[in-house]
Amino acid sequence: MSTMDRAGFADFLRTRREVIQPEAVGLPRGRRRRTAGLRREEVAALADMSTDYYARMERGQSPRPSEQVVAALARGLRLSLEERDHLFRLAGYGEPGRTQRGDHVDVGLMRVMARLDDTPAQIIGALGETLVQTRLAVALLGDHTRYEGLARSAIYRWFTDPAERRVYPEADHRMHSRILASRLRAVLARGRYPRAAEIVAALDAASPEFVRVWGDHEVGLRHSEQKRLVHPELGELELHCQTLLDPGQDQSLLVFTAVPGSESHEKLELLSVIGTQELGTREFGTAAHDPVR
């Protein structure tokens, strides 16, 4: 780990911010915009952090940001992999060879996400790490970006945290366990993610259910595009989950829709109106780390 280039880091943030046009991230330009590119508060919102904290980084006046914050900045600024690696180096975190982190979202996927603000959608990594969510995905599923360590993986949480299962009807739990174990086995076999072996070892020690399912050695199981979800306020919804894959990054964009005119469609429209206002906060919880909001 090397020393942070504070001035270079600040300058790179500023120059990247100034070349991004608001339309590229799904923001309206407005008639009175005078700023070249994005405003500081817009980048802060895209990276899910306070405007003051972002402004201090851009002025070179903040402590060295964590790797989590640097990754959030790279996503918010829609950096390419090369630009993301450069930002990490400026922050003093390692070499370009670290790109197989699995937490950098392709610029193209981020552009698609920017157009889905009125739809539940999220981007997940190979091990079920939720990298980005629309506001309606948070309202529907809870904030899945707030976890750290092994708990970033939805596969790990499924077998260790009972709260993770509340979003699915109990009758579907056995099926999800089999599918998630199959998915974990596929990632482990590819050998690209050392954390997969960590998750297997941790679950082997923590979950008798995982041991039983893992012992069946099932492969190739996949989730159906038709999903039943349970929301703490709206009840059960029958949704269609469309998946857009980015094979190079082992990431998936999941988009949840309902049949027009159906009861589930009406519930999604209600969710769109209410958003995250007091909706499901008791069950889902909220992110509480600083400086990220």
pLDDT tens-place string over residues 5-26 = 999 999 999 999 998 888 888 7
The whole-number pLDDT of residue 101 equals 53
Which of 107, 5, 100, 101 has the alpha carbon at shortest distance from 60? 5
In this structure, the answer to whether residues 18 and 69 fall within a common structural domain is: yes
pLDDT tens-digit map of 242-269: 999 887 768 899 999 999 999 999 999 9
* pLDDT values of the chain reduced to their tens digit, one per residue, 293 residues: 578 999 999 999 999 999 888 888 878 777 777 777 899 999 999 998 999 999 999 999 999 999 889 989 998 998 887 788 889 989 998 754 444 456 778 778 888 888 888 899 999 999 999 999 999 999 999 999 989 899 999 999 999 999 999 999 999 999 999 999 999 999 998 888 889 999 999 999 999 999 999 999 998 898 889 999 999 889 999 999 999 988 776 889 999 999 999 999 999 999 988 765 544 444 444 333 333 33
Report yes or no on 52 lying in a domain: yes
pLDDT, position 274:
75
C-alpha 264/C-alpha 44 separation (Å) is 34
CA 135 from centroid of its chain's CA atoms: 12
- Would you say 169 and 227 are in contact if contact means Cβ atoms under 8 Å apart? no
Residue-level pLDDT at 100: 47
Q: What is the 3-state composition of the chain as percent helix, strand, coil, each rounded to the nearest 5? A: 50, 15, 35
Residues 83 and 170 in one domain: no
Taking a C-beta distance cutoff of 8 angstroms, is the pair 242, 254 a contact? yes
Residue 1 lies inside a defined structural domain of this protein: no
CA dihedral for 265, 270, 272, 275, sign (positive or negative): negative
Q: Are residues 63 and 123 in the same domain?
A: no
The single-letter DSSP state of residue 127 is: T
* Residue listed under structure tokens 């923001």: 27
Q: Are residues 21 and 129 in the same domain?
A: no
Structure confidence at residue 277 (pLDDT): 58
Q: What's the 3-state SS for 52-118?
A: HHHHHHHCCCCCCCCHHHHHHHHHHCCCCHHHHHHHHHHCCCCCHHHHCCCCCCCHHHHHHHHCCCC
**73 lies in the same domain as 218:** no
pLDDT of the residue at 85: 85
d(CA 100, CA 73): 18
Q: What is the pLDDT of residue 250?
A: 83
Q: Do 77 and 154 sit in the same domain of this protein?
A: no
CA dist., res. 128 & res. 126, Å (int): 6
Shared domain for 278 and 212, answered yes or no, is yes
Q: Are residues 209 and 159 part of one domain?
A: yes
In a domain, 178, yes or no: yes
Q: How much is the pLDDT for 292? A: 37
**Which residues span the domain enclosing 239?**
108-284
